[in-house]
Amino acid sequence: MNAKLYDRMLAQLQLSGYRERTCQSYLKAVQQLQRFCNKPLSKLTQGDLRDYWLACRNDYGWRPATLRISYSGIKFFFSRTLVRNWKLIKEVRFKREQTLPTVMSAGEAKRIICALPTLQSKVFYVTLYSLGLRLLEAITLEVRDIDGERGVVHVRGGKGARDRTIPLPEITRRALRAYYKTHRNKRWIFPAIGHNQFHKCGAATEPVSKTGVQRVLGRTAERLGMTKRVHPHVFRQSYATHMLEANVPIHHVQKLLGHKTLQSTIVYLHVTTMAESHSHERVCQVIQGALS
């Protein structure tokens, strides 16, 4: 992909309001296509594109989610940057996987958090879970976003550039305050930590790295022998499920999570259905307590 086409596509993506992560994913999708075909993008045919996607699906074993990103990026390129009125792009369909989210119990979430090795990692995952944040939202949380007096957190520039306000539990407020006292960074709640220079993170100009928080979680889950595939997003999925199990109205949960459509939130109802036995037990406990 030559520099001129790259810059043009990037500018069009940015002007269309796509986030930086999406821009890079779409650009990468086009670059992968060109490497596979090994010829200039201007000389590609529908047959080349068909062969590429079939190879990705059948030979490389790409998952539907990966295929959908590839499709979206390539579609944008041939619709907006190097315009081609190709029938294939209109006909191709990569269906979304119908998989249920992985969910931890409250006990499992607490067990992992308690086993994390540093104060920063403990408070980070307390925040991620108790606020139901996306990973990037937690990483880029700023001091100005915490309104302790009102007991809320402002999430700015979430997915789809939608801001929202989330209740701040007292236990999370105390944890954040205790951790903040160790660094007092003027901007970041979770500033980057220099090598063996924890006290200098107060002057950090960047937040903690995505790789760093993922790695510490993976190592901790492995050390605990967790059978579930635990990654940062599981804390958000668990938050959503636990809210629904606590009878928080689904439309309110949708707002807390920052979902554009209710359909994105409904998937967690299927997970709560799987936990009906636990719900039945709680029902019996409530009645037992009321009548005994």
Q: Give the catalytic positions in this structure.
A: 134, 159, 233, 236, 259, 268
Pull the structure tokens for residue 274. Answer: 């799987």
Strand ranges across the sheet with 164-167:
146-147, 152-155, 164-167
**What value does the CA radius of gyration of the chain take, rounded to a whole number of Å?**
23
| One-letter amino acid for residue 126 of the chain | V
Nearest to 186 by CA among 201, 169, 208: 201
Strand stretches in 50-173, DSSP E: 146-147, 152-155, 164-167
Cα–Cα distance, 34 to 30 (Å, whole number): 6
- Cα–Cα distances in Å, from 42 out to 15, 69, 243? 23, 21, 51
First to last CA, the chain: 73
